[in-house]
């Protein structure tokens, strides 16, 4: 399958690109900087240097592709609403314009559970109305709405994956672990008590690949391991596994001192159900808990082939 991939150099994009190529897909990566494009070309990847946030993508780039995987967008630490809108809303709009003129057989869009907002630790399903409370979550929801409108109006064969907190090298979770290793993590009580849904980087990558052939178009799926625990329980387990100091009860994350937006994102408490992912998309995580995923991360990065 010929696939156009945005966000190929991100922490999910790198192992996804590797898996797609291992599975025999022809991948064209969209990169917005010369440095990242050069790095990908050295690895033998076909690259189009382009900034989706400022320009409309040429139809020629898309017309030979059978599928698009749209990973590019804002991250939880993106606290500025204009920045988030530019990455998620404008970037997605420009990509959709190109796809509308050169139809593809599948459009996979990567969103996140931040669109749900804070539900006080209750379980949430895809049928529940989103209520994002951060610029990141609001921009992600706007991008989802663009894609669903395109599906309804001109039958864009879109599948939306709402990722839980992805843990692994390079993730926000990974950055917190790095700070734990340096002995400088102190989290507010409201963050430590939040309930997070989790998914390993390995399984996040597998789910995206799986959705290419098994996701139902026009549908939204939560992608998580189905387990639930508080942030304190999560980080305490990480600390124990890696023989690190346990997280403290007061203060702020050193790197983001004074950034309320990031702390708000971290304290959002919601537990995504994965019944729809399992029954409709027929996908089950290989790492069914943080414990299993951590063991794999400690053995080394990377995503195995999906079967």
List the structure tokens of 260.
């309320």
**Nearest Cα residue to 116 out of 105, 106, 104, 127:** 127
How many angstroms separate the CA atoms of 239 and 245, rounded? 6
pTM over 0.85, yes/no: yes
Q: Decide which of 3.40.640.10, 3.40.50.300, 2.170.120.40, 3.40.50.720 is the CATH code for 2-165+199-226+272-286.
A: 3.40.50.720
Look at strands 67-70 and 2-6 and give their pairing. parallel
How many angstroms separate the CA atoms of 170 and 91, rounded? 22
Per-residue pLDDT of the chain in tens (307 residues, 90 and over written 9) = 999 999 999 999 999 999 999 999 999 999 988 888 898 999 999 999 888 988 888 888 898 899 999 999 988 766 678 888 989 999 999 999 999 998 899 999 999 999 999 998 899 999 999 999 888 999 999 999 999 999 999 999 999 999 999 988 878 777 777 777 777 667 777 778 889 899 999 999 999 999 999 999 999 999 999 998 888 888 888 877 777 767 665 544 444 444 555 666 777 889 999 999 999 999 999 999 988 888 887 776 444 444 4
């Amino acid at each position: 399958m010929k696939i156009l991939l945005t966000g190929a150099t991100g922490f999910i994009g790198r192992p996804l690109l590797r898996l797609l190529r291992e599975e025999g897909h022809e991948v064209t990566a969209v990169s917005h900087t010369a440095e990242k494009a050069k790095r990908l070309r050295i690895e033998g990847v076909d690259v189009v240097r382009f900034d989706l946030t400022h320009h409309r993508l040429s139809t020629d780039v898309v017309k030979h592709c059978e599928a698009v995987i749209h990973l590019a967008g804002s991250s939880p630490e993106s606290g500025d609403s204009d920045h988030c809108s530019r990455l998620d809303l404008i970037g997605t709009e420009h990509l959709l314009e190109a796809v509308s003129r050169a139809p593809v057989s599948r459009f996979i869009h990567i969103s996140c559970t931040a669109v749900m907002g804070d539900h006080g630790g209750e379980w949430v399903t895809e049928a529940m109305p989103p209520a994002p409370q951060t610029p990141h979550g609001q921009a992600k929801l706007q991008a989802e709405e663009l894609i669903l409108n395109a599906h309804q109006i001109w039958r864009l064969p879109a599948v939306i994956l709402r990722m839980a907190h992805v843990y692994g090298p390079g993730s926000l979770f990974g950055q917190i672990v790095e700070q734990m290793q340096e002995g400088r993590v102190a989290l507010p009580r409201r963050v430590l008590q939040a309930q997070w849904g989790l998914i390993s980087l390995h399984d996040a990558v597998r789910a995206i690949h799986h959705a290419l052939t098994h996701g139902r178009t026009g549908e939204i799926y939560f992608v998580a391991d189905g387990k639930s625990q508080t942030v304190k329980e999560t980080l305490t387990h990480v600390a124990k596994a890696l023989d690190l100091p346990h997280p403290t009860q007061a203060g702020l994350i050193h790197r983001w001192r004074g950034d309320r937006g990031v702390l708000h994102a971290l304290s959002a408490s919601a537990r995504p159900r994965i019944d729809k992912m399992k029954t409709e998309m027929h996908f089950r995580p290989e790492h069914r808990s943080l414990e299993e995923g951590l063991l794999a991360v400690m053995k080394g990065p990377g995503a195995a082939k999906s079967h």
